[in-house]
Chains A and B, each alone.
Chain A
Amino acid sequence: MTNVRVAGVGLTHFGHHPERTSRDLFAEAGLSALDDADVAAGDVESVYYGNFMGELSEHQGHQGPLAAEALGVDAPATRYESACASSGVALRQAVRDVRNGEVDVAVVGGAERMNNLETAESTEALAIAADDLYEVRAGMTFPGAYALMASAYFEQFGGSREDLAHVAVKNHANALGNDHAQYQKEITVEDAMESPPVASPLHLYDACPVTDGASAVVLVGEAYAESEDLDAPVAVTGTGQGGDKMALHDREDVATSPAATDAAEEAYEDAGVSADDVDLAEVHDCFTIAEVLATESLGFFETGEGVDAARRGVTTSDGDLPVNLSGGLKAKGHPVGATGTSQVAELTKLLRGDHVNSEHVPDATTAVAHNAGGTVASAVVHVLEEVEA
């Protein structure tokens, strides 16, 4: 089994690009990843592409081949769909194929175009990540589902809207210098508290924006990296995936995300690390409560004790365990199918030392990416380690 190196990463600006097709967005991210890797398109043996709502937003299915041709790659290409975890699961498949020696050079990425839809249409498109019969038809929205998780969390473990506001403030602060981020604007706890309600107890500033964008990473086997003399100091050393019932009401507990716990345990064991070894993390904060659930599932905090981590300064940029130094989904943005690989792209740069926020984690060697689908009916976790100084 060969080690899997991240040879290069690429991101578009995340934001409002209603006029740009996802094939164009992915071309920008993928080509910049190939350039960053110093790998020729002709060497790519497989393309793994994540996208969620292409049929609804662009009337386009079968997007794998489009993704490959956008990069000038002539190789097998497959689209992966797992709601907001689409490119995370694409990455997991690529990691396994490279490890097994079936593929030496892989491009993994994703793209999403959402702002060409009206707000109501994108709300509806996102809602289909929930159970259509028993959730969507009952009037559930995606924010509504996370609101149900937040209400149950507050009831069982305590915590307050103000605790969640600190998560939003932190992630906005982290995005300030990130040129890829949708929002480079500081907010205050008061701003978050006073923003309009979306689905109680969640307000507008608890939610990630609607985002267009793409991301890509180039993965290579260690032997290829050595023979080509690539500068690829970061390795994907652990991968894990967990699943849960689709509808919240079919879960054992509405206030936790056991699929992410399972994914994290598998990824840690795979990498031979524990939660204590993790220096920084990018987690799926589509809503502020989601960051709380994620950090508990990843083992950074006991269940019920993660809600005030941002408020206590533990997960801030100067804390012991910075979370979402990119700005997270909350401030960097959440182009659904692109999110999983964008987390890995950001972490790779943070570990390599060429991210605008690398100064906050100069000694970091171990990072974790957590990508969730729906209300965490799907979860995928990857461990990244700096293996060459």
Chain B
Amino acid sequence: MSDVRDAGYDDFVDALADGEGYYVECDEGHGSLPPRRACPHCASRDLSEEPLPETGTVESCTEIHVPTPSFADDAPYVVAVVDFGPVRVTGQVLADPEDVEIGSTVAPTVTETATEGDRLVAFELR
């Protein structure tokens, strides 16, 4: 892979790292993650960036024991789908697995993998 940025995605991660996470919202109120030119739920092209709520709720989670090579030195780790209301986000929860459960409150952040130092979306328990 080259070092070329993925417009939309890398901007999103930059913003999360600065504590200024956002999501894309259409005029019908559907949330999604960038890059978007049309709402994936209703096709509206009237989209705006809205601030991501400061905390979300774990909707589902799993402790991954068998990773891909890019996460070889990170396993085991917890991945969760987190509900922020208008939008959901997938990321790693930076906590002991036994402390993470469906319904846990988390805040978004950005971390790096232990394996290759890649940035990734993560959550901290609140």
Contacts and interface: CB of A to CB of B under 8 A. Distances in A.
Interface in A195-235: 196-202
A263 interface: no
A141 B59 contact: no
B118 interface: yes
B90 A138 contact: yes
Contact of B121 (A138, A141, A155, A250): A138
Nearest to B81: A249
A256 to B, nearest CB: 12
A248 B64 contact: no
A254 B59 contact: yes
The prevalent SS among residues of B at the interface is strand
Contact of A148 (B6, B61, B92): B61
Contacts of A127: 68
A123 B67 CA distance: 7
A245 B90 CA distance: 14
A134 interface: yes
Interface residues of B, number: 37
Contacts of A141: 64, 66-68
Interface in A78-117: none
B64 A148 contact: no
Contact of A139 (B9, B71, B97, B102): B71
Nearest to B122: A138
Given A151-B61, A152-B59, A248-B81, A138 B66 contact: no
B15 interface: no
B74 interface: yes
Contact of A254 (B60, B69, B72): B60
B45 interface: no
A45 interface: no
Given A245-B40, A248-B90, 6 more contacts: A133-B9, A134-B90, A138-B122, A139-B67, A141-B68, A250-B32
Interface of B: 6, 9, 32-33, 40, 59-72, 74, 77, 79-82, 88-92, 97, 102, 113, 118, 120-122
